[in-house]
């Protein structure tokens, strides 16, 4: 998306035509809806700049830029080599506190560019200009000072604004970024905020068993921890965690006294001797029925609401899902569930490939330039390919249930191989992920990816390990298929349909 000349845009009175012209100017991929009052407000703003700017008719701004995954929108942004100017447009009937809150949020997002930023709001219905002071107060401003500021901007950035704003700068995990979480250096997406609002209202109405799900990367953990922080402001709360976070949880437990963390090793709930105002359960798909009943007993004893976060694995077969703990609480009549659908960490290409790879019944006409699939006849060839990918910066996530044990294999001479076991990846993320598939993987009659070893042995589902491992990727995925030519051909049918 490129900046546009707002003077040229506001010469039109037809909102539909204005939208078409804006699309052509900005190079965005679709028309945006521009209401009549928005056009009028932008026109008035442009006219107020003409007496105070040396070349007001040539000023360009990024207009109505939205960070799609976060749902964050900016009305006008002008970026120079030494400073940034952000202006929000309002028609009227908006409180000073609402304006201040928006500008403070804008300050957080724009501060990542590492330049001084000036924040203004123009209320066209009042012909009023205000700015955010360095101390965070809202003060009246003049167009004269804004004009000087704009005139002093040089070397204006005109390339694609998406290159400057990568959403992962604003997305944190309370597990891997406890400092940022405790300093509240994060924002929830619109969808996360909406689910939080509904859950809190339901608690007020006496609905005590609730939860939310979503694919890995949709922001479940940060939402759960944010709600725990909110509810702990009045009374202590507890959080039961299933998974592999013992060290990281200990760090949070030491620094955050309002929330007590309980690590549920081996699917068991530790004895709890104090009462809590609310119970939170993270990675709840890992727990069994007896474990869940133990936690519910605490809830009944303390009269405390229970909020659950768990993975959505609808892209795996029903037989695989029955191995997950989600069925334990989803089947209850008193459970009220919500679903996060906005993929924050994983981009659309990788997310679509993962869904199609695990459930090939649906095919998409997509290109997958960031997915690499290679073939190895045996373990030696496979490890040679693993070495290649690791040198390319891929994290090798290996499954301890692999029929050929690679954990004890010697590293290549002079190489420090990068690898992690699949049970330890929960909550972590990597730019590039590599995984190995052997001849025990196949597609069943419904075209779901299955695994013979998971069916014949009492082991953790290798499909779920694959699902969780690949979903850790942010930018690239690589698969090495070992001794399974049939699967290799089927995967390439997905890649090059």
Same domain, 325 and 357: no
Q: Tell me, what CATH number does 315's domain have?
A: 3.40.50.300
Distance CA 186, CA 169 (A): 9
pLDDT band at residue 285 under the 50/70/90 scheme? confident
Same domain, 330 and 362: no
Q: Are residues 117 and 19 in the same domain?
A: yes
Asked which of 315, 340, 365 is the last residue of a domain, the reply is 340
pLDDT given for residue 415 in this prediction: 46
Mean pLDDT for all residues in the chain: 85
197 and 321 belong to one structural domain: yes
Residue 391 has pLDDT above 70, yes or no: yes
295 and 374 both lie in a single domain: no
Residue 313: Cβ within 10 Å count: 23
Assess if residue 15 is contained within a domain: yes
Band (69; pLDDT cuts 50, 70, 90): low
Query: What pLDDT score was predicted for residue 28?
Result: 87
**Are 148 and 14 contained in the same domain?**
yes
Residue ranges making up the domain that contains 424: 348-495
Domain termination residue (choose one: 340, 375, 407): 340
| 172 and 186 Cβ atoms separated by less than 8 Å | yes
Q: What CATH number did the domain enclosing 388 receive?
A: 3.40.50
> Which tokens belong to 301?
């004893």
Extract the tokens encoding 28. Answer: 């965005």
Q: Do 137 and 266 lie in a common domain?
A: no
84 and 151 both lie in a single domain: yes
Domains identified in the chain, total number: 3
Are 120 and 215 members of one domain?
no
Of 134, 167, 200, the position where a domain reaches its end is 167
pLDDT for res 226: 94
Q: Are residues 80 and 187 in the same domain?
A: no
Q: Of 85-89, 108-112, 241-245, 342-346, which range is least confident?
A: 342-346
Which comes out higher in pLDDT, residue 89 or 343?
89
Residue 50 counted as domain residue: yes
**pLDDT tens string 21-67:** 899 999 888 888 888 888 889 999 999 999 999 888 889 999 999 88
Can you tell me the mean pLDDT for 133-155? 93
Do 397 and 484 belong together in one domain? yes
Note the pLDDT tens digit of each residue in 229-273. 999 998 999 999 887 655 667 777 777 778 998 888 777 888 888
Residue 172 placed within a domain = no
Measured distance CA(380)–CA(213) in Å, rounded: 40
pLDDT at 307: 97
Same domain flag for 429 and 290: no
For residue 173, tell me if it sits in a domain: no
Inform me whether the pLDDT recorded for 321 exceeds 80. no
Pairing of strands 72-79, 60-67: antiparallel
Residue 72 belongs to a domain: yes
Express as a percent the part of the chain with pLDDT over 90.
42
- Cross-strand partners of 120: 87, 131
383 located within any domain: yes
Query: Residue 287 falls within a domain, yes or no?
Result: yes
Residue 59 contacts residue 78 (beta carbons within 8 Å): yes
| Cα→Cα distances 337→114, 150, 195, 231, 292, Å | 40, 49, 10, 19, 16
For residue range 348-386, list pLDDT tens digits in order.
Answer: 788 889 888 988 777 777 889 999 999 999 999 999 999
CB contact at 8 A, 356 and 362? yes
User: Does the pLDDT of residue 197 top 70, yes or no?
Assistant: yes
pLDDT-derived band at 436, boundaries 50, 70, 90? very high
């Amino acid at each position: 998306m490129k900046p546009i000349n707002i003077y040229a845009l506001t010469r039109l009175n037809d909102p539909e035509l204005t939208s078409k012209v804006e699309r052509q100017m900005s190079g965005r991929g679709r028309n945006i809806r521009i209401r009549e009052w928005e056009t009028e407000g932008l026109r008035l703003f442009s006219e107020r700049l003409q007496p105070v700017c040396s070349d007001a008719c040539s000023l360009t701004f990024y207009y109505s830029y939205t960070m799609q995954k976060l749902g964050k929108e900016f009305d006008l942004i002008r970026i120079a080599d030494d400073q940034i100017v952000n202006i929000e447009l309002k028609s009227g009937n908006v409180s000073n506190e609402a304006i201040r809150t928006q500008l403070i949020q804008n300050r957080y997002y724009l501060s990542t560019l590492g330049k001084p930023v000036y924040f203004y709001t123009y209320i066209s219905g009042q012909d009023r200009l205000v700015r955010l002071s360095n101390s965070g107060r809202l003060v009246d401003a003049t167009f004269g000072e804004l004009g000087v500021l704009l005139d002093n901007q040089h070397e204006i950035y005109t390339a694609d604004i998406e290159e400057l704003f990568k959403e992962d700068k604003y997305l944190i995990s309370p597990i891997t970024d406890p400092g940022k979480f405790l300093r509240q250096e994060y924002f929830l997406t619109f969808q996360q905020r909406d689910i939080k609002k509904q859950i809190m209202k339901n608690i007020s109405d006496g609905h005590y068993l609730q939860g939310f799900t979503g694919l890995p990367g949709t922001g479940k953990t940060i939402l759960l921890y944010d709600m725990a922080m909110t509810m702990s402001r009045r009374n202590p709360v507890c959080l039961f965690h299933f998974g592999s976070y013992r060290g990281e949880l200990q760090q949070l437990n030491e620094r955050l006294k309002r929330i007590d963390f309980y690590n549920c090793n081996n699917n068991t709930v530790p004895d709890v001797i104090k009462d809590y105002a609310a119970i939170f359960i993270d990675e709840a798909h890992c727990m069994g029925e007896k474990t869940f009943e133990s936690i519910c007993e605490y809830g009944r004893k303390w009269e405390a609401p229970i909020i659950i976060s768990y993975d959505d694995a609808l892209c795996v077969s029903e037989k695989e899902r029955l191995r997950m703990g989600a069925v334990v609480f989803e089947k209850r009549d008193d459970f009220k569930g919500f679903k996060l659908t906005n993929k924050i960490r994983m981009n659309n290409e990788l997310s679509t490939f993962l869904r199609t790879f695990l459930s090939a019944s649906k095919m998409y006409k997509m290109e997958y330039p960031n997915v690499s699939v290679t073939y190895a006849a045996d373990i030696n060839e496979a490890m040679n390919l693993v070495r290649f990918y690791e040198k390319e910066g891929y994290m090798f996530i290996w499954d301890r249930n692999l029929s050929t044990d690679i954990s004890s294999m010697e590293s290549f001479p002079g190489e420090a191989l990068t690898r992690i076991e699949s049970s330890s990846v929960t909550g972590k993320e990597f730019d590039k992920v590599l995984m190995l598939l052997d001849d025990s993987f196949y597609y069943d009659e419904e075209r779901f990816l299955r695994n013979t070893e998971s069916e014949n042995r009492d082991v953790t589902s290798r499909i779920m390990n694959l699902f969780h491992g690949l979903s850790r990727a942010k930018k690239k995925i690589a698969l090495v298929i070992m001794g399974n030519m049939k699967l290799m051909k089927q995967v390439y049918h997905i890649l090059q349909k």
